[in-house]
């Protein structure tokens, strides 16, 4: 006998947000049926792969959640029509990249996938459907979705679509996930934000989260506050990273140590220690995109000084990547080294295979533009992704200068210079004494994450360069 579920949920988009979020909802709400749909057949096949190591997303703990729920109340498919038709609630969790052309190009979000999803909901839904914005969106996007959905309602009255009355409620429920800790973030969120105009629909979404989240951590707002809050949250986090990164350069000039400065100011309860770790620059799918969106919204409202303030965060981020690249290039030229660098890490942070906007890609591109050969090793990123990222940034790059390294230690004799780009724990645990015995001399380490012990590394014989440290 087929199980009867309390509610049917459809999520359009099986990416970094949709897949993990729906998996955790399925885990905590066994009386709800969750269908995650996507037009990408290869991605759906990966979600359905018996070998859980082949899931399209690497997140610690995700494989266990999927294993527990898949085939019971969690399903992945390309059958968008059927899933929407059967759904009481539809989450939109699709990509919203920065526009590359048209009004707002290089700043505003491209909402074409959001609009396409809204049209699918308008076409295939039945009766009343609660539509939930899960993607990160610019404020007032709900108006665009409303326009599309309401046109369907009118068409239905004129018998141009399927029979039956269609009504919709729109809810904003932005995600606040950090890649690498998404499952724990979902299981133990700081807060769940639900914005809307219809109390009944707000309560319906709140009831989902109340299965495992304390109601005190569920915040309700109007639609516009919810949409804007997500952009602002990411902008504030990125602001802290760019602030500490800007000071790392000042530390290098004054003799201060950024790690000591960061610790000192982080102990101030008014500031806190989160996001005060200096690095070669932030990456990921959200920070840059959301700040550009915030800048565009401010400028569209005539708030030029506000826009300039937030845009400076991106200026500092790009500067940090470029000056780190220059340190490496200058070292090669000054010491007359063979123009080759081993890059450790390509993911934008540890515990994820996501390389979107990774600082490592930009540094790699800068090195390639200087005709420097790069060997790339990352424990979770494959050669196809590396080639895609580099070609996406610079389609004319010289492929012959890129080597994919499966075992960096055994290949170390080919290099004088190592650059740490991602803070993977295993890099800290490398046998650096053995590496020093095999690497070409003089040997250099450029630590773009400040993860190594300076005294120990220097004692081994390495020439060490970090960020904000002498």
- CATH number of the structural domain spanning residue 149: 3.40.50.720
287 within a domain of the structure (yes/no)? no
> Among residues 133, 175, 179, 259, which one is catalytic?
175
Q: Which of 29, 286, 357, 373 is catalytic?
A: 286
Confidence (pLDDT) at 208: 98
175 is a catalytic site residue? yes
Determine the structural domain holding residue 72 and report its residue range: 7-221
DSSP secondary structure letter of residue 98: B
Per-residue exposure over 140-156, b if at least 16 CB sit within 10 Å of its own CB, e if not: ebbeebbebbeebeeeb
Please report the pLDDT score of residue 156 as a whole number.
46
What local confidence, expressed as pLDDT, does residue 100 receive? 84
Total domain count, the chain = 2
Is the CB of residue 147 less than 8 Å from the CB of residue 119? no
pLDDT at 135: 83
Examine the fold and report which residue of 196, 221, 246 is the final residue of a domain before the chain moves on.
221
Tens of pLDDT along 72-107? 999 999 999 999 999 999 999 998 888 888 888 888
Q: Is residue 226 part of a domain?
A: no
The number of residues in the chain equals: 470
115 within some domain: yes
Whether residue 171 sits in one domain with residue 28: yes
Q: Determine the pLDDT at residue 138.
A: 72
pLDDT at 455: 95
In a domain, 213, yes or no: yes
**pLDDT score of 1:** 57
- For position 158, what pLDDT does the model report? 41
Q: Please indicate, yes or no, whether residues 206 and 351 belong to a single structural domain of this protein.
A: no
Residue 397, helix vs strand vs coil: coil
pLDDT tens digits, 143-185: 889 888 887 554 444 433 333 478 999 999 999 988 889 999 9
Say if 306 falls within a structural domain.
no
Instruction: Say which of 99, 134, 230, 277 is annotated catalytic.
Output: 230
Report helix, strand or coil for 132. strand
Tell me, yes or no, whether 228 lies in a domain: no
- Identify the CA nearest to 354 among candidates 98, 105, 19: 19
Which residues contact residue 406 at a Cβ distance below 8 angstroms, ignoring those fewer than 6 apart? 377
- Residue 107 in tokens: 């700043």
Q: Could you tell me if residue 269 is inside a domain? A: no
Query: Rounded to 5 degrees, what are φ and ψ at 235?
Result: -65, -40
Low-confidence ranges of the chain (pLDDT < 70): 1, 152-164
Last residue of a domain, which of 221, 247, 267?
A: 221
- Domain end position, chosen among 200, 221, 242: 221
- Please indicate, yes or no, if residue 23 is contained in any of the structural domains: yes
Looking at residue 127, its pLDDT comes to: 86
Burial of 107 (0-12, 13-18, 19+ CB in 10 A): buried
């Amino acid at each position: 006998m087929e199980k009867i579920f309390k509610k049917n949920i459809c999520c359009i988009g099986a990416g970094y947000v949709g897949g993990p979020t729906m998996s955790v909802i399925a885990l905590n709400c066994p009386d709800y049926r969750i269908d995650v749909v996507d037009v990408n057949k290869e991605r759906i096949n990966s979600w359905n792969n018996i070998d859980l190591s082949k899931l399209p997303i690497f997140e610690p703990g995700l494989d266990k959640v999927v294993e527990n729920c898949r085939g019971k109340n969690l399903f992945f498919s390309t059958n968008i029509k059927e899933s929407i038709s059967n759904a009481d609630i539809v989450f939109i969790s699709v990509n919203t990249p920065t526009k590359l052309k048209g009004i707002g190009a290089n700043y505003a979000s491209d909402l074409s996938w959001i609009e396409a999803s809204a049209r699918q909901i308008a076409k295939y839904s039945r009766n009343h459907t609660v539509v939930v914005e899960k993607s990160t969106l610019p404020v007032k996007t709900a108006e665009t979705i409303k326009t599309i959905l309401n046109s369907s309602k009118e068409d239905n009255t004129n018998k141009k679509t399927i029979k039956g009355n269609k009504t919709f409620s729109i809810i904003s429920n932005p995600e606040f996930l950090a890649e690498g800790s998404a499952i724990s973030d979902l299981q133990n969120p700081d807060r769940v934000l639900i914005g809307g105009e219809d109390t009944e629909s707000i309560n319906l979404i709140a009831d989902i989260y109340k299965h495992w989240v304390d109601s005190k951590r569920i915040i309700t707002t109007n639609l516009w506050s919810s949409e804007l809050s997500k952009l602002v949250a990411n902008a504030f986090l990125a602001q802290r990273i760019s602030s500490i990164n800007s000071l790392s350069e000042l530390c290098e000039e004054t003799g201060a140590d950024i790690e000591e400065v960061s610790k000192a100011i982080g102990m101030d309860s008014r500031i806190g220690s989160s996001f005060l770790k200096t690095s070669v620059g932030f990456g990921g799918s959200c920070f840059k995109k959301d700040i550009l969106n915030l800048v565009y919204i401010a400028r569209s409202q005539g708030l030029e000084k506000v826009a300039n303030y937030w845009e400076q965060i991106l200026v500092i981020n790009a500067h940090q990547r470029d000056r780190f690249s220059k340190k490496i290039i200058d070292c090669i030229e000054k010491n007359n080294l063979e123009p080759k660098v081993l890059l450790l890490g390509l993911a934008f942070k540890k515990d994820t295979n996501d390389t979107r906007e990774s600082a490592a890609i930009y540094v790699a591109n800068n090195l390639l533009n200087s005709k420097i050969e790069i060997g790339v090793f990352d424990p979770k990123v494959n050669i196809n992704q590396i080639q895609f990222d580099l070609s996406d940034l610079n389609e004319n790059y010289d492929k012959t200068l890129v080597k994919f390294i499966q075992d960096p230690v055994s290949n170390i004799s080919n290099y004088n210079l190592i650059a740490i780009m991602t803070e993977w724990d295993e890099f800290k645990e490398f046998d650096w004494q053995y590496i020093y015995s095999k690497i070409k001399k003089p040997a250099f380490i450029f630590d773009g994450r400040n993860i190594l012990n300076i005294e120990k590394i220097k004692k081994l014989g390495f020439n060490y360069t970090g960020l904000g440290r002498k």
